[in-house]
Structure 1
Amino acid sequence: MFRHTSLLQFEAKPEKPDALYARKLQELIGGAYGEMTVTMQYLFQGWNCRVEGKYKDLIMDTATEEIGHVEMLATMVARLLEGAPATTMAEAVKDPATAAILGGMDPQQAIISGGGATPSDSQGYPWNGRYVIASGNLLADFRANVAAEAQGRLQTARLYNMTDDPGVKAMLQFNLARDTVHQRQWLAAIEELKADGLESDIAPTALFDEENQEHNNTIWHLSDGPDGNKGGWTTGPEGIEYLMDPQALGGPGVAPPPDPALFATAEPSLGEPGGATSVTSEAGKTKK
């Protein structure tokens, strides 16, 4: 059960409207690393979690907070758009494309959402559920969460430097702080998974005896850059061997003959092992 409280987690009041910045903020709502993504990511991770107790509670606490972040940003967008839809749409009567550019807003914010936020990114692309990572493996998921919070904080930091509005900056300062602590909590939770014996460094903790033992401790030098083998990952007890001149282990990557019904273009020699392709003429005679 979820219960909505009619109070924002932190204030979202700009000093003045700014339709262009409202469009930029849409990235933090519906972008690949926006608040809608982490909201749904954490919710599904929590709902799918098979470890009752501290891990599930942490996931659900954070998921519910992220719902509030979507609300904060949507409120800020609506307030930044104050007065913009009417003026922009008045100009749109003359020239819709020019009005959208001069107004700076996503036209859908006026046409579809009536001067409010939309579930989309800064280019108006709809939010996509494929952004969500919820595998059921807590180690893999928590690592994905660290990355999501890092990308979200990076984008928030960039947007922070794109505005001088003190009200907007105050809200983003709060968001930056929450992205910081969320990165820290997922990193700490990863270490606790290991301490509790639930996971180790590699996800998943399985099939180590089944994997190809010859190739589980090598890095292949496959770029022009010469310094990859100078990193710390090649030293110490867990050092990974750097193969400076790796060789291909497989044969030519030749696709099999296509199904004739698919009408894929192919060389005639692909039809038969001997090299010739059987063709049936209109007279029904088979020739080579």
Structure 2
Amino acid sequence: MFTFSNRLFYPVQVERQDPKFGQIMFEHYGGKDSEFSAVTQYQNHRANMPNPYVSKLLGMIAAEEMSHMEMISVAIKRLGGPPLSYVNSQGTPWNINYVDQSLDPIAMLQADAEAEIRARILYNQHFTMTQDPGLKQMISFLGSREDVHKHLFQRAQGLIVQGAGAEQFRQLILDYKASLQI
């Protein structure tokens, strides 16, 4: 179940408009390695994940990715970027081929960890493209969350391979929740 909160997951502060950088930020909104791609992939993997704990983890991370998407949309608007649509920075429409369709739990989690790595690389690139201190803080925050997700996906993958028990999987959920204490 998802709930809506009328506050952002992390503050979005933009010092001055920069429509060109707003256009660049579309990579995080509707590009191949965007938050939208992550939400869509993790929800699909959640629906196909036989392990109930990992399924729950995927759902929680997908919900967080939705909040990241909302932050990106606010940043684009405050930068004076173009109207929001599911396109990348070049205007190419989002494509379902951006979403991994694996059904094997190990393959799904591998694809999810790889998606987080690619998103982190993209955030690192865009961090260097702005001098706006508020945007730098937001981008740094989002990049650090990608690292947390990657680590959790890799741990979940290892637990499945090991045939770990319920308690170890429950700890994964608790560790995710603890990571949200910001």
Give the TM-score, by structure 1 length: 0.55
Contact 1:39 1:66 in 2 (8 A): yes
Corresponding residue number in structure 2 for 1:80: 79
The letter of the residue matching 2:144 is A
Contact 1:9 1:69 in 2 (8 A): yes
The letter of the residue matching 2:100 is I
- 2:153 & 2:138 partners in 1: Cα distance? 23
2:33 equivalent to 1:33? yes
Aligned length: 165
Alignment of 1:122-161 (within 5 A): 122-161=89-128
Contact 1:29 1:73 in 2 (8 A): yes
Quote how far apart the aligned CAs of 1:119 are.
1.3
2:159 equivalent to 1:192? yes
Quote how far apart the aligned CAs of 1:197 are.
6.7
Corresponding residue number in structure 2 for 1:65: 64
Contact 2:50 2:105 in 1 (8 A): no
- 2:156 & 2:122 partners in 1: Cα distance? 24
Deviations 1:123-156 (A, max 9, x none): 0111111211132211001111111111110010
Match of 2:85 among 86, 95, 118: 118
Quote how far apart the aligned CAs of 1:77 are.
0.2
DSSP-derived class of the 1:185 partner = helix
Quote how far apart the aligned CAs of 1:171 are.
0.3
- 2:101 & 2:54 partners in 1: Cα distance? 14
**How well do the aligned residues superpose, as a CA RMSD in angstroms?**
1.5
Q: Name stretches of at least 5 consecutive residues in structure 2 with no aligned partner.
A: 166-182
Contact 1:42 1:134 in 2 (8 A): no
Deviations 1:93-148 (A, max 9, x none): xxxxxxxxxxxx6xxx2xxx3xxx22110001111112111322110011111111
Deviations 1:64-97 (A, max 9, x none): 100111100001000100xxxxxxxxxxxxxxxx
Contact 1:24 1:122 in 2 (8 A): yes
Q: Report the structure, 1 or 2, having the larger helix content.
A: 2
The letter of the residue matching 1:137 is D
- 1:12 & 1:24 partners in 2: Cα distance? 16
Percent identity between the two aligned chains? 28
Alignment of 1:262-281 (within 5 A): none
2:152 equivalent to 1:166? no
Give the TM-score, by structure 2 length: 0.86
Q: Name stretches of at least 5 consecutive residues in structure 1 with no aligned partner.
A: 82-104, 199-288
Corresponding residue number in structure 2 for 1:97: none
The letter of the residue matching 1:120 is V
Corresponding residue number in structure 1 for 2:49: 49
